[in-house]
Amino acid sequence: MDFADAIQILDSALRLATPLLLACLAGLFSERAGIFDIGLEGKLLASAFFSAAAAFATGSAWIGLAAGIGASCVLALVHGVASITFRGNQLISGVAINFLASGMTVVIGEAWFALGGRTPQLEGPARFGSVDLPFAAALADVPVLGPIYAEILSGHSILVYLALGTVPLTWWILFRTRFGLRLRAVGENPAAVDTAGVSVVGLRYAAVMIAGVLCGIGGVYLATALSAGFVKEMSAGRGFIALAALIFAKWRPWYALGACFLFGLLEALGNRYQNIDIAGFDVPTQFMQALPYILTVVILAGFVGKAIPPRAGGEPYVKER
């Protein structure tokens, strides 16, 4: 692998890591408040479909962004009502959302477009184009640092930069604001928060809806920036990989960025190197493409160290009378 190949792989890794990062931060907000969200996959899928459908119908990627966030927030609200208001099992609610999104996108897509669950190809203003950072062209020929800035950091969709900017914003909200302190406290000891006169239900709903917004942006990115339309099951397990990255990152925003980039890097390597010869043995294409999923299994099996979730995670809160 030469320097040019490395630059291209890192550029691809950043693009592929973006939806994972947004979904991972969504899960971080939700789980820090004590609400486990297995439905990240479903929200990514639903937002991808409705954003592509709205962008095609209106010719505007921004309207598609609003539609995708709206679809994700509706599912987030369903999850909130089931797990917070009615105190249902959070895992079952998340799985139900995944099944609902998987079937709904295909059925509605076939009814609207008759393309086997796909949406028509998006073109022009219906997609988010690339954004060139300042002085990218002028610095492109500078050794080492030039290609890193001009090819890896520059030339991405506005949603990529939004995702990267969300990382320090998430850190600041969770660890430097009163809202973040209360949100983390709800995930650890909701009774103490309630005793202080703060609404546990309100904080948990806020966290779930923030997760809906972030997941919505991730799904929109999949359909209108990374791809040019929606295809069946295009989330491809990214919601579950984001959960694994969240565990790997131990529920911390900056670690989440590194974990998601690692998953994106493995996917980029699998896409670029379909066949590798190691000591005379041809590594199967399927193995290369399965690298992110293999790492997910390794993380969930506990081989990367013990990860302790919020103590009140997954437990409905019942206010004492």
For the stretch 226-243, pLDDT in tens is 999 999 999 988 999 999
Q: Could you tell me the two tokens for 314?
A: 């997954």
For the cut 90, the answer to whether the pLDDT of residue 23 exceeds it is yes
Which has the closest alpha carbon to 320: 183, 184, 192? 192
pLDDT in tens, 48-77: 999 999 999 999 999 999 999 999 999 999
Helices marked H in the chain — which ranges? 3-32, 40-58, 61-80, 90-113, 136-139, 145-147, 158-176, 178-188, 190-195, 200-221, 238-248, 253-272, 285-289, 291-300
Write down the pLDDT at residue 24.
Answer: 96
Q: Could you tell me the two tokens for 264?
A: 């994106």
pLDDT in tens, 192-213: 999 888 999 999 999 999 999 9
Query: What is the C-alpha to C-alpha distance for residues 311 and 165, in angstroms, rounded to an integer?
Result: 29
Domains of the chain, by residue range, sit at 3-239
For residues 15 and 255, is the Cβ–Cβ distance under 8 A?
no
Question: 102 pLDDT band (50/70/90 cuts)?
Answer: very high
Side-chain-side CA neighbours of 184 within 13 Å: the count stands at 13
Write down the pLDDT at residue 146.
Answer: 83
Please tell me whether residue 116 adopts helix, strand or coil conformation: coil
Please report, in angstroms and rounded to a whole number, the separation of the first and last CA atoms in the chain. Answer: 66
What is the average pLDDT across 259-281? 77
What is the average pLDDT across 279-283? 62
Write down the pLDDT at residue 11.
Answer: 92
Write down the pLDDT at residue 282.
Answer: 67
pLDDT in tens, 253-264: 999 999 999 889
For the cut 80, the answer to whether the pLDDT of residue 300 exceeds it is no
Side-chain-side CA neighbours of 42 within 13 Å: the count stands at 24
Question: 169 pLDDT band (50/70/90 cuts)?
Answer: very high
